[in-house]
Amino acid sequence: MTRLLQAYDIEVVAAVADPVALAAAIDESPVDLAVVDVRMPPTFTTEGLAAAIDIRTRRPGMPVLVLSQYVEHLYARQLMASGDGGIGYLLKDRVADVDAFVDAVRRVADGGTVLDPKVVSRLLTRADRRRPMARLTGREREVLALMAEGRSNAAIAAALVVTEKAVGKHITNILTKLDLPGDPDDNRRVLAVLEYLRDADPDE
């Protein structure tokens, strides 16, 4: 991972093996982004996730990109609970697509939100029959899925072969149907993603 990032002119200030060392590195170095494995010592279960959430608690808005072996919607939901940008959740096999992975790293570091397409697909499938997600049309769900992947309006328009104006209209409808405030705050896009993450949780 270190060699990969350095090959793309991304400076790696520290490479650590456990949550304690991660916290120390964040406190001691001027870090723009933390790339964290969900599974870390000592139990290799959710220590990495807990560390990522702790980072965001101590440094609100700190960009964090989490890597996981499996799709776990609860992990993504917890990480995004603050509503701030600068969050990524990718499956580890995405690292093999080096260009896409490095692009995700840069987008999260710049304050964007990136979710793995498999995570988005699972969440939308599970949330399909639940409120308020049930209010959205099929096209609106497609737009929301691409928003969750961190794509801009232009990129969404290109993916769906529609105009940016049409995408803007869909996003307005999504935010309205999800009862999100009608102000110009870009974090509403994050809140829209968070809404279906919450709806996809069977325990809520």
Q: Is the pLDDT of residue 7 over 90?
A: yes
Q: What is the mean pLDDT of the chain?
A: 81
The answer to whether the beta carbons of residues 46 and 37 sit under 8 Å apart is no
Q: Is the pLDDT of residue 151 over 60?
A: yes
How does residue 187 score in pLDDT terms, banded at 50, 70 and 90? Answer: low
* pLDDT digit string, tens, across residues 119-148: 766 655 554 445 677 788 889 988 988 887
CATH number of 1-115: 3.40.50.2300
More confident residue, 82 or 81: 81
* Separation between Cα atoms, residue 125 and residue 141, nearest integer Å: 10
Q: Is the pLDDT of residue 201 over 60?
A: no
Q: Is the pLDDT of residue 181 over 90?
A: no
Name 89's bridge partners. 66, 115
* Separation between Cα atoms, residue 88 and residue 62, nearest integer Å: 11
Peptide bond into 132 cis (omega under 30): yes
With a pLDDT cut of 70, the percent of the chain lying above it is: 76
Residue-level pLDDT at 129: 46
Residue-level pLDDT at 204: 45
Q: Which CATH class is domain 117-204?
A: mainly alpha
Residue-level pLDDT at 9: 94
State phi, psi for 113 to the nearest 5 degrees: -120, 130
Q: Is the pLDDT of residue 87 over 90?
A: no
Residue 134: half-sphere exposure toward Cβ, Cα within 13 Å: 3
* pLDDT digit string, tens, across residues 52-78: 888 888 888 889 999 988 766 666 667
Q: Is the pLDDT of residue 167 over 60?
A: yes
What is the average per-residue pLDDT within 163-171?
92
Q: Where are the domains of the chain?
A: 1-115, 117-204
Residue-level pLDDT at 202: 45
The answer to whether the beta carbons of residues 65 and 34 sit under 8 Å apart is yes
The answer to whether the beta carbons of residues 157 and 164 sit under 8 Å apart is yes
Q: Is the pLDDT of residue 12 over 90?
A: yes
More confident residue, 43 or 19: 19
- Overall pTM surpassing 0.75 (yes/no): no
